[in-house]
Structure 1
Amino acid sequence: MFWLFNRRVFIDNYIIDLPPNMRRIEPFLYRCAELDKLDAIRRVVGIIMDNLLYSPRLYDIAETLFAQGRHAAALLLYEGVAEAEKYQHSERLAICHYRIFTIQIGDDQSRNLKAGTRFEPFVERLDEIDQLDALKDLANVYRSLRLWDDVDETARKMKEKAKIQYSMKHQEKRKNRTHAKKTKSPLFGYVAYADLLCASVCEARGNYQQALQYTYAYADLDWVKETDEDTQHWVNLFKHWSHANVIVNKLLSGDISVLHEYLNYIDASTDTTQEDRVTQLLNIMIAANLYAIDVNDILKQFETEIESFSQQPSGDIYAQQVMPDYFAWFGYELAYYYLHQGMYSDGFKYLMNALLKANTLNNETYFINCMGLFARFQAHAVPETKAEFFNFIERVWINNVEKNDSSDRRD
């Protein structure tokens, strides 16, 4: 209560009644961020941001809070600066929107689409180097939303910009520029990753031959001039991904003979992460459902890992967005397989898991697919399973009505 009272007194006496002084305001904002007093930060920003002179310092504070991981507090400052400078064309404004986009990315895919749509017009205003990371992040969000036209367009932009930057980097007159701004990942990697994204677009569209061409392209990195250890690590990684995805494209195109080769590749892989494993098993399940392959033995082999699958995204946008989408997709494919195999207990278990994930992601397509699959097989569901399913659907409906304050709500 004492802190609440003093907060209000400080704002009233030192910000409203007196000309704002950043020497007083700055430590106050840091303290509010530390204590998660977002309302106070919001009020201060609203009071002082009529004057553009405060933008640079508030921006610097926001950057510090962002680096400290105090994203909720930083978001309020970035939004204040962006609103104050909305008619400007500064790089600072573009970075504010980039940070806002990064912070707002979360579980709700409909909100992620809005965040991506709002940010996209500001990409070209960023520094040329920052543009590469921004385009990569945007592409990963669009990939999680399965907006393949947007993935394709964004990946191509990133590739062209990365090629230009790579060429400039190695021009003779620039070789001594030791203080040039650096990308988060090796510069050549943006070219290779663009090909990987284009391959995923072709794969999603069922154009497996074109996907293979892109997959071969990001393995062929003989043009890379750097020879340091970090470069070699990434070159080997892209070759590793390419080898796996060549097999996957053959498998998904109907060449069942490569399934054994893919399993050998999985067994031989070292340092496999949970994200790697769900991607590998998802590929197998898609093929199994497309071509009616019996994969019961494979599922038994990975039973423990499948049971441990969970959504624990890291700070990386790929992990935040693409992998949760894959977890939901894998759950649906697994449910589809088991239900069509007549293994109803397992099928309905994974179907409910997929439904929960689809609801968390606010992914309408997955949610409808799960409902349709349940409708197809509900005659085989025990009463407890039916009750669980319909109770969940009712809760989702009630939450949706309340969220939208619909006039259809009844007591």
Structure 2
Amino acid sequence: MRLQEPLQRSLRSEIEKIQKQYGYTLSKLSALSGINHGHLSDILRGNRAMTIRQLDALATAFEQPPGWLYELYPDECFAKERVSRPRVIPYLIRCAEIGRQDCIQPIVSKLLDEQKNVDILFSVGERLFEAGKSKESIPFYQLVIENEKDSHSDRFSLSQYRLFRATLGTNAEDNWKAVIRFEPYRHRLPENYQLDGLLQLANVSFVLQRWSDMEKYADELRLLASKVYEHEWRKRKNAKTCEPLKTERHLVVYYGQGFLLKGAALQMQGLYGEAKKYVQGYADLDWFELLDNTGRMEVEKFKTWAKANMYTYDLLMGDTQVLPEYLDFLDKHPTEIPAGLLTIMEVASKFDISIDHVLERYSAEIERFYEHQDQINKGRHYNFRYFKIAYELKRGRMNKALDEILCCMDLADLC
């Protein structure tokens, strides 16, 4: 006697089976899931395709975990071998969000049978990235880069940029690899993304202490921001209504940062006189024509940073008489204290001046160095302790110098 072949599992057969187990009528299931009664009837009869949101709603109604029956959903994404963007994109996004990689790969393989479907993978990456799920977006941008035929297309360049942003973390070696991977494509980006790409490259170079690279990106940022500003200003002057260039930060940020980062790179190379020349580029940006409330707030930040950096350069060039003024400035601008303490300690060790009163005055802030988790402030803390070694040695305080050496060794493992 021939055994009857088991029925093949399908999305609707599984839903029908669990519906019978729970004893839910169509009306009850509609009420629990929030799916319109008529739509639900058409879905279960196979007359209407199901969205991934509706499947999730049914999973909740049946008290099933996230991702329930996802492995059976791909049939909803294809009708007569034609892909449905409105269903496949949300499906891939949800699979990425909950970690159903087993469901992603078969869909990707089928999509890549046609070159035009690379755009679907790019759209998934963009939706994930814009929702703050940058890590989940990485595989989709990698697929675009691997399968896009035109390496000069915006889609390819934007994928390189997004991949760069998404892979930045706390590991210095990985960050440098990300820079190397992205750098050749920075000029292929549309200008609005190029501005932010250059700003990010300069910032990463600062953390990695690659001062010549930081200078290069700051120079490029300054030139591009000036060019974009001139274009935007003329465009808005000549048109009553026009769409402003969409950038991640206000345009004045990119302009001012081009000067600020150039000065910072020169400072780190000991070129304090050269660095001072660039302060004027961001000390007073009230002339910037395209300012809104956000822009004006950014301009005020640049004014504060310009004052702080002028004090910094004067001190590092040996003008220690400005120290009392600088301390007053730090009291009025407490966010500048971490950077200020590093400057003061470097100056004290370099010019052999006593700052014991400063260390006592800011003892609580110095202790708070340990609370900072970002790479910039971790680096400041390490360098503060490094310069303090020389400071304590010059004062003949060997035990304190030894404590600072041990502290530097511990911090070196964390930075």
TM-score, normalised with respect to structure 2? 0.74
Aligned counterpart in structure 2 of residue 277 of structure 1, from 325, 328, 337: 337
Q: Does 1:103 align with 2:166?
A: yes
Q: How does 1:88-237 map to 2 (within 5 A)?
A: 88-171=151-234, 174-221=238-285, 223-226=287-290, 228-237=292-301
For the residue of structure 1 that corresponds to 2:283, the secondary structure is coil
Offset of residue 321 of structure 1: 4.9
Residues 77, 85 of structure 2: 8 Å contact kept: no
Matched with 2:382 is 328
User: In 1, Cα distance between the equivalents of 2:381 and 2:245?
Assistant: 36
Q: What is the letter of the counterpart of residue 130 of structure 1?
A: Y
Matched with 1:383 is none
Q: What is the letter of the counterpart of residue 179 of structure 2?
A: G
List runs of 5+ in structure 1 lacking aligned partners: 314-319, 362-411
Q: What is the letter of the counterpart of residue 296 of structure 1?
A: D
Residues 156, 194 of structure 1: 8 Å contact kept: yes
1:328-357 per-residue CA deviation (whole Å, 9 max, x = no partner) reads 333433455446555566555554554444
Q: How does 1:244-263 map to 2 (within 5 A)?
A: 244-263=308-327
User: In 2, Cα distance between the equivalents of 1:352 and 1:248?
Assistant: 28
Residues 348, 391 of structure 2: 8 Å contact kept: yes
Q: Name the CA shift for 1:54/1:342 in 2 (closer, same or farther; >3 Å).
A: farther
Greater shift, 324-333 or 257-266, is seen at 324-333
User: In 1, Cα distance between the equivalents of 2:212 and 2:88?
Assistant: 46
Greater shift, 120-129 or 1-10, is seen at 1-10
Offset of residue 265 of structure 1: 0.8
Residues 41, 76 of structure 1: 8 Å contact kept: no
For the residue of structure 2 that corresponds to 1:309, the secondary structure is helix
Q: What is the letter of the counterpart of residue 209 of structure 1?
A: G
Q: How does 1:55-66 map to 2 (within 5 A)?
A: 55-66=118-129
Q: Does 1:239 align with 2:303?
A: yes
Q: What is the letter of the counterpart of residue 384 of structure 2?
A: F
Q: Name the CA shift for 1:122/1:174 in 2 (closer, same or farther; >3 Å).
A: farther
User: In 2, Cα distance between the equivalents of 1:50 and 1:204?
Assistant: 52
Matched with 1:294 is 354
Q: What is the letter of the counterpart of residue 212 of structure 1?
A: K
Aligned counterpart in structure 2 of residue 32 of structure 1, from 81, 85, 95: 95
Figure out how many residues of one structure are paired with residues of the other and give that number. 349
Q: Does 1:76 align with 2:139?
A: yes
Residues 145, 156 of structure 2: 8 Å contact kept: yes
Residues 142, 151 of structure 1: 8 Å contact kept: yes
List runs of 5+ in structure 2 lacking aligned partners: 1-63
User: In 2, Cα distance between the equivalents of 1:355 and 1:10?
Assistant: 54
Greater shift, 49-58 or 246-255, is seen at 49-58
Q: What is the letter of the counterpart of residue 242 of structure 2?
A: T
Identity of aligned residues (%): 30
1:138-184 per-residue CA deviation (whole Å, 9 max, x = no partner) reads 11111111211111111111111111111111216644343232223
CA RMSD of aligned residues (A): 3.1
